[in-house]
Structure 1
Amino acid sequence: MTVAPSEPPEPSGSRPEARTAAGRLRGSREAGVAVFRGIPFAEPPVGALRFAAPQPVRGWGEVRKAVSYGPPPPQSGQFGMDALAQDAPGDDWLTVNVWSPEPTPGAGLPVMVWIQGGAYVFGMSGLPEYDGGRLARDGDVVVVTFNYRVGIEGFGQIEGAPPNRGLLDQVAALEWVRDNVRAFGGDPERVTVFGQSAGGGSIAALLAMDRAAGLFRRAIAQSVQGTFFSPDLASDITAACAAELGLRATVTDLSGVSPHQLPAAADAVSATMDQWAERWGRPAHKTIPFSPVVDGDILPTTPWQALSDGAGRDVELLVGHTRDEHRLFTAITGLLGEVSEEQAAAALRFLAPSPDGARRYRDVFPSAGPDRLYELVHSDWLFRMPSLHLAQAQTAAGGRTHVYELAWTAPGMGGALGACHGLDVPLVFGNLDRGRPAMLIGETPSPEAEALSARMRAAWTSFAAHGDPGWPAYDPERRRVQIFDTRPVVTAYPEEASRLIWQDHAFPVLPLIDR
């Protein structure tokens, strides 16, 4: 597990301190920024609190060191994330981290709260690409990151437990920010949430949740993951995961299982999800075992319906996606340049909008071969069109929205990945040579990459501070968006062909298919 970078020892009196509602903290200074890591925002969700909604954290008496990230919640084995979690033992999963250029109460700085992605099955705030130091220093903002429960712990539909526990963790973290960020120089009335992939989908969900109302003023949703499950679908998938252990999906059965065993059971189900396609539908085709559940209470309806009805109308929204969202996943599965006509046809049949979406893709993109069609329909269904439709729903209800597309080709793998999913994360944080992003950008970032990163950081922090990222708001007639490339330009939405194919699709709740 990544820990705080080492620095020369400081006299204890020079280390930054902050007083929170639960007690005093002592952090560290790194490159001119005060940093506080591993601050509990809720009690550890284990033992009697396993699968419960997050509970208020108990206070502490003496000054608490806040120099190391807290242990992450249990993780899927994808990309070796389970090993990272097990290398950082402990059950204090629900912690926040704060970077502040001016940790003085009353400084009134804008606050940016990051929600990481990971397909709702992995994700931890301690990864080096999420270090908030550069964003905080260059943008003069307070940056907050945090852990939330993922996989079965956070999103499994378990009898006797509240649904959407991962979303409830996010609400609890935002409540902590509201109650404590002033001590770090932040203004609780100027909070912006920003997140990518499942983090973008989480932000879409938060916009629809009464429990999150008033906890943030602005939202930046990057590559919104558009999957939202019905309770029946979520219950059926969770039951299959529990059955891998010979158990039922109940609090009574699962609370005795080691937390790190549950992700392994879910991974086993994920490995055979294609066999469940006739029962689980699109999530099985795309291997998505967990997503937020539209339960009618914690999450009353889908984000697109909620925004169309006026929920979050007063929240200023910045939303966008990358041009080649699915290219990275195609490469990971070994299909880059190898997609067969049968695989493309299956993707169009499963994912394109009914009733004639598959035909329309072939008509609108007549020269596209199997690789291009496969990538287009995956990118559109999972990220591009959910992001665009979120903007359109907010705009239609009278809210203010700015839209962007990242079109810069990542230099990694000789440019074969294009402007792929996740490329925006290192550009926004400015961490171009740390952790996983090095695969996309290269070990030595080019001046072009640095310049693009500076532009995106400036846009994000300006939006957080003033509600203006530097380009016009989206409107349904002109549909102007910011294209981030070597030479940025404001132009009409560039994926017009896909927009027309999907314009009547509502992104409904994904159901359990009765067979």
Structure 2
Amino acid sequence: MRSVSFVTAALAIPLAAASYCHPPKWTLGQTVKTTSGPVDGHAASVASKVSEYLGIPYAQPPVGSLRFQPPVRYNGSKHLDGKNFGFSCIPSNLTAFDAEYPQELIEEYGITDVGLELIRSINNPGIPVSEDCLTLNIWTKPQMGEKRKAVMVWLHGGTFISGSSAVPDYNGQFFADQEDIVLVTIDYRVSFFGFPGNPHGPRNLGLLDQRLAVEWVRDNIAGFGGNPSRITLFGESAGGASVDHHTHAFAFDPIIAAAIPMSGTVKGIAPRPAADAATALGCGDALTPHTEILTCMQSLPSQQIHATLRNVVDSPILMPYSPSIDEALVFSSPETRPIANIPMLVGNTDNESGLFRIFVPPIFPGNASREVAFWRGYNQAKFSCPAGARAARNAREGLPTWRYRWHGVFPNTQLGTRQPSGAYHYSEMATLFGTLDGGNTKEQEKVGRWLRGAWAAFARDPVRGLEKYGKGNGKGKGKGNRWPGFEEEGETLARIGFEGREVSFVRGDFYDAGC
């Protein structure tokens, strides 16, 4: 049990939350001094009271001698205009048909126009990419609410092969406008550039990028109205697994005060053994001196490296570009490793495979029951059971823990009609960030407000925030629907969006059959 430290935390957080003095003379988009240089902001495009700061470099460009190396902190003195997102990191393809989804699969699954747009957006179309991509973005409203706000740092998903902070679904202006938090999104190296699995050098560069970004936030966020001791790291899919990796890799110096892994855990999105990066790039073999290998890997044109990347779905290795075991950041037996002494909110969607299955033809053609059973087993093995195990471990160690399951199904998020996709992997993202572009139902609006309010309540007070959180109210004034801490046998698992309602509760292990 770790109850002593949480007595201190529980006392400290309300003191911080009680201060409502506003920064003196805060003007919209005012220049903020940072270790990267002074950054100019501007009013967000829709939430006009929110100050937006885009494309702030937190690390030196990982090119030349810094390619395939740990990130190096960026220090600068030149003015940054903060007007535009930085480049996205270089991705690899998910499938061979990323540019044009096959008509036969459209017909097989009854893919909707909304679904087709989402499928086509997975590889960040229209977002410029570069190796020089290690930047972050900030949305804040210091002129209102707390003086030292809780901070939420977002790690995007994308199977560790793609993703970007510039994806419209992740725009933080609405979250920062509606909840009293500072919202930060980051870019980190993905695909071979971020996770080379190189046995001759650093393997998990993308995780190190994320860590350096968190350090930057700790060192600079006070200037944007944030409290560096109240940072919550949250992410979905690969981003969720990354959050969980941080709780293991930096167990004794987490920096963050709380964690929200969504639809991704260390055990669910399991790491891989080291790969032979040198052979993949034609830079040598086991007999080649390591210095020669690195020189070769750093000298290749980025286009040539990109040409070696596999289409992930067609790869003989599941997730070929992802964290690999090095026993320093990523461990072969994470269940035996210490974890960070912080609260956690963890969960997944009701039908994660509703997204994944539409990228492949039916596995059991003509046998619908076997097809359903296969994907149900996939959901359990990769998401539900690992989320339950992670919640149970946190709770066993005396750490405040909450568990959820996303059930929201709405007309403007539906992927397919012939075989309904349900609450699929990623389906809650635009609802969480408030970025859905029209067509929202009244129920959807209510669920979105509740979801944002709950996540922000946890960030503001990871120890007591959700136990105080009431239906549709982020300040603990609502009646009923308080969210109790996780217990496997108690009614503690929050079903969010179930049957169109904000929240209802079932046993903590309700969805863990077969685990």
Q: TM-score, normalised by structure 2?
A: 0.77
Of the three residues 270, 274, 279, the one matched with 1:228 is 270
Aligned partners of 1:235, 1:135: CA distance in 2, in Å? 39
- Kindly indicate whether the alpha-carbon contact (under 8 Å) linking 2:237 and 2:263 is maintained by their aligned counterparts in 1: yes
Percent of aligned positions that are identical: 28
Query: Is residue 254 from structure 1 mapped to residue 293 from structure 2 by the alignment?
Result: no
Give aligned pairs, total.
Answer: 431
- Kindly indicate whether the alpha-carbon contact (under 8 Å) linking 2:156 and 2:163 is maintained by their aligned counterparts in 1: yes
- The Cα of 1:266 is off from its aligned counterpart by 2.0
Aligned partners of 1:332, 1:146: CA distance in 2, in Å? 27
Give the letter for the 1:393 counterpart.
R
- The Cα of 1:104 is off from its aligned counterpart by 9.6
Give the letter for the 1:319 counterpart.
V
1:338-487 alignment, distance < 5 Å: 339-340=364-365, 369-411=369-411, 412=414, 413-414=416-417, 416-433=420-437, 444-467=439-462, 468-469=465-466, 470=469, 471-478=483-490, 480-485=492-497, 486-487=500-501
Aligned partners of 1:190, 1:303: CA distance in 2, in Å? 26
Of the three residues 242, 251, 258, the one matched with 2:281 is 242
Task: For residue 38 of structure 2, give the secondary structure of its aligned residue in structure 1.
Answer: strand
- Kindly indicate whether the alpha-carbon contact (under 8 Å) linking 2:90 and 2:131 is maintained by their aligned counterparts in 1: no
Farther-moved stretch of structure 1 (484-493 vs 454-463): 484-493
- The Cα of 1:480 is off from its aligned counterpart by 1.9
Of the three residues 54, 70, 77, the one matched with 2:71 is 54
The 1:406/1:82 distance shift into structure 2, 3 A limit, reads: closer
- Kindly indicate whether the alpha-carbon contact (under 8 Å) linking 2:246 and 2:254 is maintained by their aligned counterparts in 1: no
Give the letter for the 2:406 counterpart.
L
Farther-moved stretch of structure 1 (447-456 vs 292-301): 292-301
Give the letter for the 1:483 counterpart.
R
Aligned partners of 1:381, 1:142: CA distance in 2, in Å? 35
- Kindly indicate whether the alpha-carbon contact (under 8 Å) linking 1:72 and 1:85 is maintained by their aligned counterparts in 2: no
- The Cα of 1:140 is off from its aligned counterpart by 1.4
- The Cα of 1:247 is off from its aligned counterpart by 8.3
- The Cα of 1:495 is off from its aligned counterpart by 4.5
The 1:212/1:76 distance shift into structure 2, 3 A limit, reads: farther
Task: For residue 205 of structure 1, give the secondary structure of its aligned residue in structure 2.
Answer: helix
Which structure 2 segments of 5+ residues have no match? 1-26, 100-120, 470-482
Of the three residues 211, 214, 221, the one matched with 1:181 is 221
- The Cα of 1:316 is off from its aligned counterpart by 0.7
Give the letter for the 1:394 counterpart.
N
Query: Is residue 291 from structure 1 mapped to residue 322 from structure 2 by the alignment?
Result: yes
Q: Which residue of 2 aligns with 1:192?
A: 232
Q: TM-score, normalised by structure 1?
A: 0.77
Task: For residue 267 of structure 1, give the secondary structure of its aligned residue in structure 2.
Answer: coil
Aligned partners of 2:145, 2:34: CA distance in 1, in Å? 11
Task: For residue 192 of structure 1, give the secondary structure of its aligned residue in structure 2.
Answer: strand
- The Cα of 1:222 is off from its aligned counterpart by 0.5
Q: Which residue of 1 aligns with 2:32?
A: 18
Task: For residue 475 of structure 1, give the secondary structure of its aligned residue in structure 2.
Answer: coil
Aligned partners of 2:349, 2:377: CA distance in 1, in Å? 14
Aligned partners of 1:103, 1:53: CA distance in 2, in Å? 37
- Kindly indicate whether the alpha-carbon contact (under 8 Å) linking 1:111 and 1:142 is maintained by their aligned counterparts in 2: yes
- Kindly indicate whether the alpha-carbon contact (under 8 Å) linking 1:74 and 1:82 is maintained by their aligned counterparts in 2: no
The 1:136/1:212 distance shift into structure 2, 3 A limit, reads: farther
- Kindly indicate whether the alpha-carbon contact (under 8 Å) linking 1:207 and 1:303 is maintained by their aligned counterparts in 2: no
The 1:500/1:90 distance shift into structure 2, 3 A limit, reads: closer
Q: Which residue of 1 aligns with 2:115?
A: none
Farther-moved stretch of structure 1 (474-483 vs 73-82): 73-82
- Kindly indicate whether the alpha-carbon contact (under 8 Å) linking 2:229 and 2:257 is maintained by their aligned counterparts in 1: yes
Aligned partners of 1:373, 1:403: CA distance in 2, in Å? 24
Which structure 1 segments of 5+ residues have no match? 1-12, 275-283, 343-367, 434-442, 503-515
- The Cα of 1:483 is off from its aligned counterpart by 0.4
- The Cα of 1:39 is off from its aligned counterpart by 0.3
- The Cα of 1:203 is off from its aligned counterpart by 0.6
Aligned partners of 1:261, 1:409: CA distance in 2, in Å? 42
Q: Which residue of 1 aligns with 2:506?
A: 491
Of the three residues 53, 63, 66, the one matched with 1:36 is 53
Aligned partners of 2:344, 2:382: CA distance in 1, in Å? 20
Task: For residue 275 of structure 2, give the secondary structure of its aligned residue in structure 1.
Answer: helix
The 1:56/1:186 distance shift into structure 2, 3 A limit, reads: same
How big is each residue's C-alpha offset from its partner over 1:458-480, in whole Å with a ceiling of 9 and x where there is no partner? 10001101122330011133262
Give the letter for the 2:84 counterpart.
S
